[in-house]
Amino acid sequence: MNATLLLASLRQRFTSPMRIALAALLSLSSIGIGMAMRSLAPLESLAGTLALVFAAGAIGQDLASGVLQLTFSRPQTRQSYVLSRWAAAAIGAWSVHTLVVLVTASGIALRGGALSPRVLMLLVTESGMIIAATAAVIVGLSSLARGLGDLALFALGVFASALGAQIARARGIGWLERVFSELGRTVQPEIRLNFLLHGDPVPWAALAAWASTIPLFLALAIAVMNRREISYGDS
């Protein structure tokens, strides 16, 4: 991982007017709903959405704009480039989500609500895990498409897995339904750590899907970038 590229990627994400406006809108909406409900539950779905906002176009926009030629004119590996892009998107999204959690929790406390520090830590940890996996998915898809085509590929994957699972369920094809369900968990990773607080059964399948998603999609991005020919005549 390249520290200079990581910081440059973070700066790029936090100086993009469109990303900041969208992240602010999503965050303020979640804070308002959470304070009104006196619950952190509305923030659970925010993590994956923020990951999409910060990771979208991580590589694809560089491919479309011709920035890669300048990036690789400096001594660095393509693996370092991919990992730096992923880390920047994950750190950016997670920092915003953590701030939203703290603001919402403070607002609930001021209104007389009581929140356990363990619950806060659990939500922050869950969000970090979801963001890391979702950002890896988008970075992997971003290596395949220019611009923001990764979002189209992501939407296609989510739609295809949901539709395939429904069709397989309707026709009673259990194994095919499981295949599409696993595909859905891979493309749209979710993880819940409630078992740490309540003694619920450990969701081994979900944990395994999460743990495999990050290396799978980062390896995809690295492999694609290693095979990509980059010339100064690209545009």
- The overall average pLDDT reported for the chain is 86
- Say if 233 falls within a structural domain: no
- Say if 42 falls within a structural domain: yes
Band of residue 72 on the pLDDT scale cut at 50, 70, 90 = low
- Tokens standing for residue 41: 């539950």
What DSSP element (H or E) covers 211? helix 204-227
Band of residue 73 on the pLDDT scale cut at 50, 70, 90 = low
- Say if 133 falls within a structural domain: yes
- Say if 57 falls within a structural domain: yes
CA distance 68 to 66: 5
- Say if 197 falls within a structural domain: yes
Length of the chain: 235
- Say if 155 falls within a structural domain: yes
What is the reported pLDDT for 234? 46
Band of residue 219 on the pLDDT scale cut at 50, 70, 90 = very high
Query: Exposed, middle or buried, 78 (CB in 10 Å: 0-12/13-18/19+)?
Result: buried
Q: Are 43 and 119 in contact, with CB atoms under 8 Å apart? A: no
- Say if 97 falls within a structural domain: yes
pTM: 0.87
Band of residue 233 on the pLDDT scale cut at 50, 70, 90 = very low
CA distance 230 to 69: 7
- Say if 87 falls within a structural domain: yes
- CB half-sphere exposure, 117, CA atoms < 13 A: 0
- pLDDT, tens digit (0-9, with 9 covering 90-100), for 170-214: 888 888 888 888 888 888 888 887 777 777 788 787 788 888 899
User: Which residues span the domain enclosing 146?
Assistant: 3-227
First to last CA, the chain: 26
The pLDDT of residue 53 is above 90: yes
Q: How many domains does the chain have?
A: 1
Compute, in degrees rounded to 10, the torsion defined by CA atoms 118, 121, 125, 131: 130
